Amino acid sequence: MESKLIILIAVILGVVALAQLVRIYELSSKLRKGSEHEVPNRDNVLNARLMLIFMVFQFLGLIYLMFKYGWTGRGDAASIEGVETDWLLNLNFVIILMVFFLTNFLLFYFSFKYVRKPGVKAFYYPHNNKLEMIWTIVPAVVMAVIIILGLKSWNKLTASSGNDAIVIELFSKQFDWTARYAGADNVLGRHDYKLTADNNELALVTTNTIDSAIRIMMDGPSGIEVMQRVLNNRDTVINDSTLSAMRVDLSRKERLLRLLFQMKGHHSKSLDKSAWDDIIQKDTLYLCVNQQYEFNFRAKDLLHSAYFPQFRAQMNTVPGMTTRTKFTPIFTTEQMRKKMKDPKFNFVLLCNKICGGAHYKMKMIIVVKDKKSYDAWMKQKSKETFGAKYFPAPVAKALVSVGPAKM
Amino acid sequence: MASVAHDEHHHADLHHGDHHHEEGFVSKYIFSQDHKMIGKQFLMTAVFMGIVAMLLSVMFRIQLAWPGESSDFLSFFLGEQWAPNGVLKEDMYLGLVTIHGTIMVFFLLTGGLSGTFSNILIPLQLGARDMASGFLNMLSYWFFLISSLIMLYSLFISTGPAMAGWTIYPPLSALPQAMSGSGTGMTLWLISMAIFIAGSLIGSLNYIVTVINLRTQGMTMTRMPLTIWAFFVTAILGVLSFPVLLSAALLLMMDRLAGTSFFLSDIIVGGEMLANHGGSPILFQHLFWFLGHPEVYIVLLPALGLSSEIIATNSRKPIFGYKAMIGSILAIGFLSFIVWGHHMFITGMNPFLGSVFVFTTLLIAIPSAVKVFNYLTTLWKGSLIFTPAMLFAIALVSTFITGGVTGIILADSALDIAIHDTYFVVAHFHIVMGMSAVFGMFAGVYHWFPKMYGRMMNMRLGYVHFWITLIGAYGVFFPMHFVGLAGAPRRYYDYSSFGDFNESSYNMIMDLNVIITIFSIVAALGQLVFLFNFFYSIFRGSKAPQNPWNSNSLEWTTPVERIHGNWPGDLPTVYRWPYDYSKPGSDVDFIPQTVPLADGEEEH
């Protein structure tokens, strides 16, 4: 509290002191018969010089920052797509830096050079069509080059992934990522958010999960039957607001239940197997070097954005729709650590769309392995399919042994 | 048509001259219908809102530079609830960011910039007694004030202000379960913005009608100062784009309150399975940015208009390429409506649509380049007088270039992927739109202060303010580009998680964040010099002469003392464009618009 008081007093005294200074300045300038709308030549020239000095510092500052920080934070691009992006980015930077230095130089240099000199009149020069044509056409040509190169890259980056791309789903929610490998068939099982349950966090669609969701909706601890029982019980005492909230809740659940029955009607059992062999992976995402990946993104609750800074890839995740991107890692984590001279370096997936208080903590470490160790990891991991985890041990065994073979 | 309107207006003038009526305090200062007073009301409100938004930014900059460290400054302003032990809370960090952005973009740079200077300058530079409708003009200010008060009030409620970022993307902004600020705070945000938009529409319509109908004798469209052209196009942009934001806000309101599903689909939040299905969050982004991008030019064009006038006056030269300047204002205005998708390259929008937006967006670089080169040529062989206004106008050109060139990178969808939503974007738009518009506003205040208050601002304090602000601005936003290039996402409460995977980039981000924060505090303190100068000069500044800058445009032919109706006698007649500075054959270096062409003199 004391410090606040002292700060307050200091501020007030500062303002008073400033007021006095200005008063003195004004009185003295009155004595000198100067007036506030005429800029004395001395001030004018001083500002002109400061313009030039500022320019020098501005340029030096930028150059210093470029050399010190221009490349440290990013590191080399670690994907085929990223290498191309960086090439184009550097090219664009060369162009815009040239424009920046040229035009800022002219601006500040003219400010310095053409400062008012007593007796010299300004040059009346209202327009010149030729000049104006030049600086319409030259930027237009430069823009054409930038647009053509940019769109060429853009088309490549957004083209669909190749046939041998491994499909991985990245599922986002407040505040973490979950990965789902498409399994042996490289086809992701279908999903529907209404099937979300403790043992089916990613809401995969299979005959069993639909049945289970219907069961929970009807007879679960907060299911329709329980609610109806409460509402129909003459002895329950509920106040009006709770009652109306319960009714709204009940009608919502009944609607969801109808949709679940519809889903059951449309679902074909043959689709089950593409879901059972999917592999769910938390915390760390493992990728294989020089392997193209197609990422399908989903969001459970809000918009998130999957940002892979080192792979120069990014895509928003949107509730209610699937978005996609692709990239091919070209360095393993080990190789990248050597390049970055940082034994603790890791690739990362960040959330880059504001999604609540802990948004800044939402990330997933990515480990890129060489083919051999990736295969070893995958072999181990493929025992933990969705099917294996969903069913009690004996059933799972049957599924694992039978499931993939059929496909 | 125009001549009829003019005649009618003339009759009203005669009538007006007949009886002079005393204004009471309330009708003069509070419910004033005089455009000059309304302009000053806009300015005062905007200055206050600007101070608040700047304070908010200093608060979150402190958190970014010294995360987790206790700060007296934070605990002083935020108290125990939002900054326990002087450490900012995560939610409030996002609240500060959101309200900072909202106030700066809408209340300072839309309401403040175009509200102040359109009001003061349109009638004065056109030779009109007042706006087309004084009452609507007053209404537009009062809507603006009420919306400002609601926005400020939202900072003080227990669940905190809106926290979804100034772009308020749903579902985050639609679901109170997702975040505390998406409750009452968000409701207040939407109400405030709805009122703001209503006020802005009323104002814009008034500006358009005034420019079209109330130009004085001889003031053809191609004799209007570029300021008026800029305000005119700005008003048209506002009228065409703000209603779309209103519709987005209303639909969002319905999703929040009436259970509709415009922007919501298949959501489970806070353990609750919502039944909403079929809506699209991307629809909101389309609606938002259909306003959002023209908004950039609503903010920027008035600043460019003001600086055109100031640079010409203080170079003692005509603005170079007057017609090209008008053409580029129109081109920028038109293009601004077909580029909104460049904010959405990575939302999952169809990539082909993305390519179209790349094309249209990069086209804007052409009229922008024309403007820059025209400014440069105006300075060339001029006789420059560095008033504080002139300094700010030149700085505007510099930031317009610096921020503009990085826009080329962000508009290129292939490159945008790598830096979208990082601090590179934050640096880009703060320089090109924030700094340029703020510099334009300062330039305008220094230049037209004598017209507004009949007194001069202190020039030396103006210089101090300018240099601190310019150095501060570049000191903040140059390093910020590099934070962005290092891959630092925006709207992160702290970057400690970078320490888990990339030490060198973490160290770099932290180093730069400290530098940025120090510059931002210095720049913020520099604004005290301005505030002091501003308020001190209103009351004690030296008396202004009628035409302190030897300027040509009509506002300097009005008497220094403010009078209702602007000109004591007949309205002035205009014979020439406003840029006859240093014209060969003339003894003085300026020929006001009211001076008839001499024998054998050619119009520009």
pLDDT of residue B125: 95
A9-23, A181-195, B447-461: range with lowest mean pLDDT:
A9-23
Largest pairwise CA distance in chain B? 84
Token pair in block for residue B60:
């979150």
CA distances from B597 to A279, A317, B326, B604 (A): 84, 65, 23, 11
Q: What is the mean pLDDT of chain A?
A: 89
Partner residues linked to A297 by β-bridges: A170, A323
Residue identified by tokens 């360095």 is: A331
pLDDT of residue B268: 93
CB proximity list for A263: less than 8 A, separation 6 or greater: A192, A194, A205, A210
Average pLDDT estimate for A391-400: 58
- Res B8 pLDDT > 50: no
Residue identified by tokens 């905007």 is: B46
Alpha helices in B173-264 (DSSP H): 184-213, 226-257
Q: Which of B401, B502, B580 to mutate to test the interface with A (most CBs of A within 10 A)?
A: B502
Partner residues linked to A200 by β-bridges: A197
d(CA B180, CA B220): 55
d(CA B105, CA B100): 8
pLDDT grade, residue B22 (50/70/90)?
A: low
d(CA B27, CA A100): 50
A126 interaction partners in chain B (CB closer than 8 Å): 318, 320-322, 579, 604
Of B94, B348, B459, the CB nearest to A354: B94
Give just the sign of the alpha carbon dihedral B126, B132, B134, B140: negative
CA distances from B279 to A195, B167, B267, B275 (A): 19, 18, 11, 11
pLDDT of residue A36: 66
Does B145 reach chain A within 8 Å, measured CB to CB?
no
d(CA B533, CA B353): 50
- Res A407 pLDDT > 90: no
C-alpha B211 chain-centroid distance: 20
Nearest to A347 by CA among A330, A372, A361, A323: A330
Give just the sign of the alpha carbon dihedral B192, B193, B195, B196: positive
d(CA B316, CA B364): 29
- Res A77 pLDDT > 70: yes
d(CA A338, CA A137): 47
Token pair in block for residue B255:
């999703």
Asked if residue B555 lies in contact with residue B300, where contact means CB atoms within 8 angstroms, the answer is no
Residue of chain B whose alpha carbon sits nearest to that of A308: B418
CA distances from A383 to A102, A180, A206, A277, A370 (A): 62, 14, 19, 9, 21
pLDDT grade, residue A34 (50/70/90)?
A: low
Token pair in block for residue B383:
């006789």
Neighbour tally for A138: CB within 10 Å: 13
- Res B356 pLDDT > 90: yes
pLDDT grade, residue B21 (50/70/90)?
A: low
B372 interaction partners in chain A (CB closer than 8 Å): 103
B457 interaction partners in chain A (CB closer than 8 Å): 36
Partner residues linked to B543 by β-bridges: B455
Domain ranges of chain B: 34-263, 547-604
Q: What is the DSSP letter of A303?
A: -
A307 interaction partners in chain B (CB closer than 8 Å): 421, 487, 489
Burial B223-253 (b: 16+ CB within 10 A, else e): bbbbbbbbbbbbbbbbbbbbebbbebbebbb
C-alpha A290 chain-centroid distance: 24
In this predicted model, what pLDDT tens digit does every residue of A186-221 receive, in sequence order?
999 999 999 999 889 999 999 999 999 999 999 888
Cis peptide leading into B171, omega within 30 of 0?
yes
The distance of B418 to chain A (nearest Cα, Å) reads 5
Average pLDDT estimate for B110-114: 91
Burial B485-521 (b: 16+ CB within 10 A, else e): bbbbbbbbbbbebbeebbbbbbebbbbbbebbbebbb
Asked if residue B343 lies in contact with residue A353, where contact means CB atoms within 8 angstroms, the answer is no
d(CA B373, CA A135): 7
d(CA A161, CA A324): 10
pLDDT of residue A29: 66
CATH class of B34-263: mainly alpha
pLDDT grade, residue B190 (50/70/90)?
A: very high
What is the rounded radius of gyration, in angstroms, for the C-alpha atoms of chain B?
Answer: 24
Residue identified by tokens 């004395």 is: A40
B409 interaction partners in chain A (CB closer than 8 Å): 89, 92-93, 96
For chain B, percent of residues with pLDDT exceeding 70:
96
Residue A260, sorted as left (phi over 0), alpha (psi -120 to 50) or beta, turns out to be alpha
Q: Which of A38, A110, A173 to mutate to test the interface with B (most CBs of B within 10 A)?
A: A110
B487 interaction partners in chain A (CB closer than 8 Å): 73-74, 307, 309-310, 350
d(CA B409, CA A91): 10
Judged by CB atoms closer than 8 Å, whether chains meet at B512 and A69 is answered as yes
Average pLDDT estimate for B513-518: 95
Q: What is the mean pLDDT of chain B?
A: 91
What is the rounded radius of gyration, in angstroms, for the C-alpha atoms of chain A?
Answer: 33
- Res B530 pLDDT > 90: yes
Average pLDDT estimate for B336-348: 93
B318 interaction partners in chain A (CB closer than 8 Å): 124-126
Of A88, A316, A350, the CB nearest to B489: A350
d(CA B597, CA B230): 26
Average pLDDT estimate for B316-344: 94
pLDDT of residue A404: 41
Of A99, A116, A316, the CB nearest to B385: A116
- Res B17 pLDDT > 50: no
In this predicted model, what pLDDT tens digit does every residue of B281-292 receive, in sequence order?
999 999 999 999
CB proximity list for B126: less than 8 A, separation 6 or greater: B210, B211, B214, B215, B216, B219, B224, B228, B554
Q: What is the DSSP letter of B310?
A: H
Does B321 reach chain A within 8 Å, measured CB to CB?
yes
Nearest to B78 by CA among B187, B156, B169: B156
> What H or E segment, with its residue span, contains residue A349?
strand A347-351
In this predicted model, what pLDDT tens digit does every residue of A103-129 receive, in sequence order?
999 999 999 999 999 888 999 999 899
In this predicted model, what pLDDT tens digit does every residue of B559-571 receive, in sequence order?
988 888 899 989 9
In this predicted model, what pLDDT tens digit does every residue of A150-191 receive, in sequence order?
999 999 999 998 889 999 999 999 999 999 999 889 999 999
For chain B, percent of residues with pLDDT exceeding 90:
83
- Res A402 pLDDT > 60: no
- Res A396 pLDDT > 90: no
pLDDT of residue B588: 87
pLDDT grade, residue A285 (50/70/90)?
A: very high
Is residue B409 classed as helix, strand or coil in its secondary structure?
helix
Give just the sign of the alpha carbon dihedral B216, B218, B221, B224: negative
Average pLDDT estimate for B81-91: 91
Judged by CB atoms closer than 8 Å, whether chains meet at B376 and A107 is answered as yes
Does B542 reach chain A within 8 Å, measured CB to CB?
yes
Flag whether the ipTM exceeds 0.90.
yes
pLDDT of residue B15: 45
d(CA B177, CA B156): 20
pLDDT grade, residue B82 (50/70/90)?
A: very high
Token pair in block for residue B575:
């014979």
- Res B9 pLDDT > 50: no
Judged by CB atoms closer than 8 Å, whether chains meet at A150 and B414 is answered as yes
d(CA B126, CA B555): 8
Average pLDDT estimate for B171-184: 92
pLDDT of residue A13: 81
In this predicted model, what pLDDT tens digit does every residue of A129-138 receive, in sequence order?
999 999 999 9
Counting one residue from chain A and one from chain B, the pairs whose CB atoms sit within 8 A come to 405
In this predicted model, what pLDDT tens digit does every residue of B368-406 receive, in sequence order?
999 999 999 999 999 999 999 999 999 999 999 999 999
- SS3 letters across B80-146: HHHCHHHCCCHHHHHHHHHHHHHHHHHHHHHHHHHHHHHHHHHHHHHCCCCCCCHHHHHHHHHHHHH
DSSP A192-251: -GGG-BTTBTT-B--HHHHHHHHHHHHHSTTSHHHHHHHHH-TT----HHHHHHHHHHHH
Judged by CB atoms closer than 8 Å, whether chains meet at B273 and A193 is answered as yes
Q: Chain B window 583-602: which residues touch A at a Cβ cutoff of 8 Å?
A: 583-584, 589
Strand order in the sheet with A323-327: A279-282, A176-181, A166-173, A293-299, A323-327
